[in-house]
Amino acid sequence: MMAGAQEQRLKLLGPGTGVSMYTIRVQMALCIKELSYDFLPEDPWSKSDLLLASNPVYKKLPVLIHTGRPVCESLIIVQYLDDAFAGNSTSILPTDPYSRAVARFWASYIDDKLFPSCIGILKTAKQHERADKVEETLAAFGLLEAALAECSKEGEAEALFFGGGSLGLLDIALGCYLPWIKAIGHLAAMPPFLDAARTPKLAAWAERFRAAEAVRALLPAEDKVEEYISTVLYPKWNAALTASATN
């Protein structure tokens, strides 16, 4: 590990559950950049004074604290780490401005479109709504399959990752969701979203990503995610539905 005075002041606030994809995303970036940090587990349902002071706008996790200053939102944190520690290890974002813009576009698409559609499959009991969410999710994966194919066109050989020969922003953005994607499919009694027949490039990418040394220890087991969805999220969703029905 490369440890300097600045690096020693890195602190990461995140849920202590071990399944938060957004916290895991930041941890992946810290590992890729070979940065040590102090992890400060938080209870997302009982917000600490430190969290409220560090993220007074959204009051959400994760939060990175560097030299006493907070950085919020996981994708922003990842990009901040790449800029603030540009000399550490490999770069997470492409050096070419257009390629950086494309990576940011797809990373936002994953957060704003793909995953909400995917987890939306579990949030409704209505069959037509569930079918719509499944269709949206499969369409989103189809677009990412094409995006990965474009990465291969830019080089002479088949791209191992969205970032080319090494993990990049888009790999981290999508890879942190892999245990959740698999858990959602299992709970919904569906065949895998990523398979060699429908999305061969993404299916092969997912296997390479899971095996990558920088991230494999950070990915939670799918059954742990399933337990979290069943014991924490389902009751939360049901309570929200009950409340809306009585209003």
* Domain count within the chain: 2
Same domain, 160 and 218: yes
Structural domain range at position 40: 10-85
Same domain, 55 and 120: no
In a domain? residue 5: no
In a domain? residue 186: yes
In a domain? residue 36: yes
Same domain, 46 and 107: no
Confidence at 240, pLDDT banded by 50, 70, 90: confident
Residue 39 — φ and ψ, nearest 5°? -95, 125
pLDDT at 104: 97
- What average pLDDT score do residues 65-82 get? 97
In a domain? residue 3: no
Same domain, 111 and 211: yes
50-56, long-range: CB < 8 A, 24+ apart = 50/13, 51/13, 54/13
Same domain, 147 and 209: yes
Same domain, 15 and 121: no
In a domain? residue 163: yes
- What average pLDDT score do residues 212-239 get? 96
Same domain, 102 and 151: yes
The domain spanning residue 170 has which CATH number? 1.20.1050.10
In a domain? residue 30: yes
Amino acid identity, position 19:
V
In a domain? residue 184: yes
pLDDT at 153 over 80: no
Same domain, 70 and 148: no
pLDDT at 158 over 90: no
Question: What is the sign, positive or negative, of the torsion defined by CA atoms of 202, 207, 210, 213?
Answer: negative
Same domain, 74 and 162: no
pLDDT at 150: 87
Same domain, 45 and 110: no
Spatial CB neighbours of 100, under 8 Å, sequence gap ≥ 6: 93, 94
- What average pLDDT score do residues 133-159 get? 86
Same domain, 190 and 117: yes
The domain spanning residue 42 has which CATH number? 3.40.30.10
- Find out whether 205 and 146 touch, Cβ atoms under 8 Å: no
β-strand 11-15 against 38-42: which pairing, if any?
A: parallel
| Domain boundary pick from 36, 65, 85 | 85
pLDDT at 2: 46
| Domain boundary pick from 85, 110, 130 | 85
pTM value > 0.85: yes
In a domain? residue 90: no
Same domain, 124 and 217: yes
Cα-based distances in Å from 93 to 18, 174, 175: 26, 14, 15
